[in-house]
Every structure is written in C-alpha cells, then in structure tokens.
Amino acid sequence: MDRVSYPQRAYICEDVTRDGFQNLNKSVSVEDKLRLLDMIADAGIQSIEVGAFSPYESMKMMRNTPEVFKKLKRRENVLYRALVFDPNGAKEAAECGCGKIKINISASDAHHKGGTGMTTADALHNFAAIGEIAKDAGMQMAGSISLPFRSPFEGEGFIPFERLCGIIRSFIDIGISEISLSDAAGLGDPRLIYTRFSELKELFPDVSWMLHMHNTYGMGLAGIDAALRAGVTKFDSSLAGLGGCPYIKGARGNVATEDLVFMLECMGIETGTDFDLIIEAGQEAERIAGGDGCDSVIQRIGRSNGKVKRITL
C-alpha cells in the first residue's frame, strides 16, 4: 500500500462570527463579537471571517457587520474578511475598510434562490461589477461555491463536475485565484471530496483551494482528511462547532475549530495556534450562543465539573 502524504502546515480561517452566529435564534451584540474576535487573534488564528454584507432576510443576524468592522481593533498579522453576494455588499465592505471579500455563489439553483432570490446564472452576472469594486478599493478577493458536491434539494442531487467548472472559470475571469468549496449541507463524503479536489487541482493548477465543511452528517473531519490527502491546506472552521445554513433545513453545525486543531496537531500538521487559547475562545463562543447549536467533541469530553481540562497534544 502506498504511503499517504500529508502537508506539514495547514491554515485555518475562523468563521464563528459569520457562519457560526448567522443561524442562531438571537442576535449577537457588537461588543460580544469584538471580544471574541480579540480572543481568536490571541489564539494565533491569522484569518477570520468577521461577518457578511448582505441585504437578505436570511442573513439578518449579520446586520451589525458594518459596525463590527468599524470598531474592530485590527492586528497586523491577521486578515479580516467578509462574505458578499452582490455589488452593493462589495461597496459596503470597501466603505468599512474590509481587507478581503469572499464572493459566495451556490452550485444549486434551489439553494441560491432560497437565500438571494436569484438563480446561479443570474448571480454570475454580478461578478464583473464586484471585481471592479474590489480592484478600485484594493480589496483582496476569494470565491466560495456552496453545495459543490451534492444538493439536498429535490431534483438536484449530485452536482455535475462541469457545472462546478463553469463557476470556477467565472471566478478566474475576474481575477480570483483562491476558491473555497463550501459544503453547506455536509453531504460531501471523503471519496467524493478527494476525487473532486484532485481533478480540480489538475484542471486549475493556479488556483489555491480551500474547504469549508459542515458536520451535519458527521463527515466533517473525514472530509478534511480527504482534502489534506488531495493537497488542500486551507480550511474554514467555527469555534464550538457553531453554524449552519439558514435556508437548508437541518443543516446545522460546522466543523469545530477545537476538534480540527486537535486532529491536525495529533497528525503532526502545524496550525500556528495556541490550543489552550482556542479552547478558551470556544468556551466564550458557547457562552455567547447560550449553548444553542454547540457541537465540539473536544469541548464535550474535556468538561469536568463545568470546566474544560487542558489537553496535552
């Protein structure tokens, strides 16, 4: 049997203040978000998705994102990014001094329409305008494709590879070279994830790939392992396993940052983070969320008399 090769280093983007909080039953205050963002930076995370600039009702928990960006104490070694869907969101991000935007589109028409009222094809027409706004403002850009593996919506199912490639080409056309496959439904299995990334890396060798896994069906860490074996080194995760897609029924739970860091460092893959401080930030995220939707294995097994034990890796 051939020996599996893994990278020496992996890079984590913390997503709790965006994806983690967007699916809660309550709004999170600017003050709570700012305190948590400081804790995340203290723990060594160098990429954070702060929030989203979106007019859509499905993203109403993100409405204080402009205020968060304006009051944020930025660290020189941390890149703060935001999710956008259209040119108006890109303009708002630029006005708030956002350093990087991630443009999201779904490979599923039903999914994209459920969140924005537009089909995937309609949304693609916005790309050129978003690219111009980002270029003029000096903002970095990344692309994000939701449901790149399978769709839970009736009549869609398996996402054709060519459909994915068409979206990727549209991203490349506006100057994007970093693209995330964002499995908002958690339906990507390890074999499919490995195969899809391997094929995409061969077809688009100049693209830097990321994986954003939801843990809805318990395949999150297995999917990340498959991506690592395919040569992917960038991953989104969310403290305490918080998060989910507001317009996919039952699609709750991101891969928990605590669990991801634990797994990677046990594998000998460096993350550049302080595990104890990651645990503390996860506890703070749980406190803010009131326990709603929290699902970190490491937090759960580490509790003793209401406290989290330090775990030596």
Which domains does the chain possess? 11-308 (3.20.20.70)
The reported pLDDT for the residue numbered 1 is 44
142 membership: H or E segment, kind and range:
strand 140-146
The reported pLDDT for the residue numbered 236 is 98
Determine the distance from the C-alpha atom of residue 235 to the mean position of all C-alpha atoms in its chain, rounded to a whole number: 7
Q: Which of 242, 247, 251, 298 minimizes the C-alpha distance to 32? A: 242
Rounded CA separation 275/273 (Å): 6
Rounded CA separation 215/213 (Å): 6
Residue ranges for the chain with pLDDT beneath 50:
1
Q: Does 245 qualify as catalytic in the annotation?
A: yes
Annotated catalytic residue within 13, 245, 266, 294? 245
Contact assessment for residue 256 and residue 237, using Cβ atoms and an 8 Å cutoff: yes
The reported pLDDT for the residue numbered 292 is 77
- Give me the phi and psi of 199, to 5 degrees please: -70, -40
